[in-house]
Amino acid sequence: MIVGTAGHIDHGKTALVKALTGVDTDRLKEEKARGITIDLGFAYRPMAEGRVTGFVDVPGHERFVHTMLAGASGIDVALLVVAADDGVMPQTREHVAILDLLGIRRGIVALTKADLADEARTAAVRAEITGLLESTALCDAPIVPVSVVTGEGIADLRALLAEAERTIVVRHADGRFRLAVDRCFTLTGAGVVVTGTVLSGRITVGDRVTVSPSGLTARVRSLHAQNRPAQHGVAGERCALNLAGDAITKDAIARGDVVLDPKLHAPSDRIDAELYLLPAEAKPIGTWFPARLHQASAEVGARIVPLGPPIPPGGTGWVQLVLDRPVAAAAGDRFVIRDVSAQRTLGGGRFLDLRAPARKRRTAERLAQLSALARPHPVEAFAELLRQPPFLVDLSDFARDHALSIGQTTELEHATKAIVLPSNENRLALAPDSWARLIRNIEAELSRFHVESAELQGVGRERLRLSVEPRLPVAAFVAVLQAEAEAGHLVLEGAFVRLSGHEVRLSAADEATWAAISPRLGTGGRFRPPRVRDLAGELGSPETEVRRILKLCARLGRVDQIAHDHFFARSTTAEMVALACDVATQAPKGEFTAAQFRDRMDNGRKVAIQILDFFDRHGVTLRRGDLRRINPHRLDLFVPQLQPTATDSPQGRESSPVGRPDFKSGWGSETVPGGFDSHSLPPGVERE
């Protein structure tokens, strides 16, 4: 259990902690000289059998409220200290407001210096404290008169703390690890040590961690939990971690950083949140309101943008927080805002979405999503989010931003019965009814298309994706199509999709002509097949008739029109794609020239360039000047077996730990010279 003090300056917080633990938490020379607490102090003492209680002693001076906030985050029980001779003072009120904003629900009030007040004064101060707390979560906190001089009430206070230690709900340790750093220093023979409160999860000696938001990586060499050497620490404990790493130094880590599981490293500087403005404020909060934001042990400048009307004093509303620099946080974290002059606390609330959009942040769809994210439990929030447009949730991002472990994520899937689709490195989830609606919409759109265009092979993938709801990202939509194709409901032919029962058929005469053409497109001359005029001459048929049959065969997926009147067998196209991949694999940086491809095919330069231009139009290759590289997201158009896996992207750039991959939407998403998608035919191919 972690106990944090709170209260006005010179009300006896440090002396009370010393009376309870025997430890003087004022460790700085200036603190001794001035007789006030300036920085956070820490002490430990067993209060209940077999358990160690940690105490965080915070400053009471108004100039050090930012330090008090760093210490108050993560505590289990608030020890509010009020001097009997002074009563409730300005910092008493501000500290109580901060404790309430941070969501601290358990507390004890120590009425210190009881030896300096008579019964009437003590009763008056008690009534004053009761009035202060009655509208807060600490309204039921017991009030204990104590004196560190006479020892009055110390035993009673210890007994209350021991009872709290025995009954307090232990924080869940099955989330991913996060520790909010409040101190960083070096020890001779050990190196860099960071201390802080474990906000979630568990840490073990030897674990790999990341310091966020800087992104430094480290290994835990050893640790202390609740001031004792240990092999592991868990949520709710104060831990000291001895870190080792290439860039780990005392100056590289500061208060406000978070040591966390590497999977959680995704700092954010734009966060949607729920904000409560204290009733004492004179004005509402409007757009672009400047403030100082305090979260865990971090302090950062922020601008506040209400997502509705201005928030009045005593009111609550949704806001977007635009931060001066990124912070490492989790959805559900509590925060406090103060004015830019650091003279008063304005309000506080909790984070809802760490990936807030910069645009369309006030639309009805976005506000519905925030309403879902405002649910108190991740399972409830996830289930409700699946019911809101766009009816699709990135499960990987949701689990990361809520610091969920693998086990918790699996429980989330089971509880909501979500349908999860693979999408590059992330997993996208739909509710069962959204999945059923998507499949119905795909089948209905294909049926409609086949009725209206019975002579066509099928509808283009991208056109189909954009015409059905819910609209999925490209990679996820491909996964759906492939799953339906494996089930036998759909057929994928290159860039086209059709129902399994639909087929474009040639007439008997056309089939006879195709039977005569087909051998001439294969065998040894397959990489340089005859053109339409040559085929017409060999067969003794009109060019228009040969051209018509070849275009019908292109719709059937039998051939591909590489250039005007130049058709290649589909199997030859697949072979040429494989050859291009082989050339790219052997080329430096995966970039190759037309000459290298020509030599590999043992073909003429003009035909090789026409083939590469065809690949460029389809996005199979990406051209930059005279160099080309393979786009792995388009390989499945012609060579399904070459389709990359989620982790197999040799030609792509390395994924950003915070943002999105360079290929944001999968196959065909990049701009390519002369590019086209499946809404249209390739350049040079006339519509009939």
Domains in the chain: ranges and CATH = 2-167 (3.40.50.300), 178-264 (2.40.30.10), 268-362 (2.40.30.10), 374-504 (1.10.10.10), 526-537+550-642 (1.10.10.10)
Distance CA 560, CA 554 (A): 6
Question: Residue 448: pLDDT band by 50, 70, 90 thresholds?
Answer: very high
Distance CA 217, CA 639 (A): 40
Can you tell me whether residue 434 is helix, strand or coil? helix
Lowest mean pLDDT among 21-30, 356-365, 489-498, 667-676: 667-676
The candidate with the shortest Cα–Cα distance to 525, out of 580, 578, 602, 579, is: 602
Q: How many CB atoms lie within 10 A of CB 676?
A: 17
**Kind and range of the H or E run holding 462:** helix 461-467
The candidate with the shortest Cα–Cα distance to 224, out of 248, 265, 195, is: 195
Average pLDDT over all residues of the chain: 86
Distance CA 558, CA 570 (A): 5
Q: Tokens at residue 165, please? A: 């230690």
pLDDT of residue 50: 67
* Of 59 and 241, the one with more pLDDT: 241
Q: Tokens at residue 444, please? A: 């209905």
Q: Provide CB contacts within 8 A for 34, sequence distance 6+.
A: none
Q: Tokens at residue 206, please? A: 């030897």
pLDDT digit string, tens, across residues 259-311: 999 999 999 999 999 999 999 999 999 999 999 999 999 999 999 999 999 99
- Percentage of the chain modeled with pLDDT above 70: 88
The candidate with the shortest Cα–Cα distance to 329, out of 73, 688, 501, 26, is: 73
pLDDT digit string, tens, across residues 65-119: 777 777 777 788 999 999 999 999 999 999 999 999 999 999 999 999 999 999 9
DSSP state of 160: H
